[in-house]
Amino acid sequence: MGKIIIANWKMNPKSIKEARGILKETLKEIKQTKGIEVVICLPFPFLSIVNGLKSKKITFGAQNIFPEPKGAFTGEVSLPMIQSLGAKYVILGHSERRKLGETNKIINKKVLATLKAKLTPILCIGESKRDEDGFYLAFLKHQLIECLTHVPRTQIKNIIIAYEPLWAIGGKARHIATEDEFTEIQIFIKKVISDLYDIKIASSIRVAYGGSVHPLNADNFILGGADGLLIGRDSLKPKKFGKIIRSIE
């Protein structure tokens, strides 16, 4: 299975015209790419342009969903809605959603609903800080256990886990994560999955890294064992995004 590069556009850009332009330029940048799956997770309104974009180079996803398939849930967006627009992936549990009040239990409901709909959840976990006593590992384990509750053995392999340490995110990141720091967590994640399921299942789980990824450090995380990358602001800059993909190809 090849590497996966996931673009998270967050609440950008301002207009559908700009979104079309960014996608058009991105396709130019990655047209020669081989062996790498590129997933672009768009804001809900921009998913409407997916079906009109004929490309085998990009798969699309959403940045959130509501776990119920329909009903009186004003302002929410369901899985059948995003499926009808061509989405195949869903980012769940992103730190920015957690900051708005999403709990592990809410995220777990969304994970289960996404799997039931036969879409791929991209489950984000991450700690706000690291301590010398290693309590952050217990925090990550708790996130994993609660977010994966009731996920059957037959479905766990369909989840991508994205490790995004909060201390490494954004332009004012306190510390840029290293490939060794990621590798430590990747091993830990697979150990937790192994304890919950078994070693074979743990080895099949894809673990991606997200947190201030840019063209100069992307290949380091891949060389460190990452199965993919979750990219924020640089995914909106086609030339930088293209450089990141080419650096790991």
Both tokens of 212, joined, read 């201030």
Q: How far apart are the first and last CA of the chain?
A: 13
Q: Which of 94, 96, 179, 181 is catalytic?
A: 94
Return d(Cα 240, Cα 216) in angstroms, integer: 10
Q: Say whether 94 is catalytic.
A: yes
Q: Which helix (H) or strand (E) holds 82?
A: helix 79-84
Query: Do residues 147 and 185 lie in contact, with contact meaning Cβ atoms separated by under 8 Å?
Result: no
Give long-range contacts, CB 8 A cutoff, 24+ apart: 54-61.
55/27, 57/27, 57/30, 57/31, 57/33, 58/23, 58/26, 58/27, 58/30, 59/88, 59/89, 60/86, 60/87, 60/88, 60/89, 61/6, 61/87, 61/88, 61/89, 61/90, 61/91, 61/119, 61/120, 61/122
3-state class (DSSP) for residue 203: helix
- Of 127, 164, 179, 181, which is the active-site residue? 164
C-beta separation of 148 from 108 below 8 A: yes
Among candidates 132, 208, 128, which has minimal Cα distance to 173? Answer: 128
Catalytic residues: 94, 164
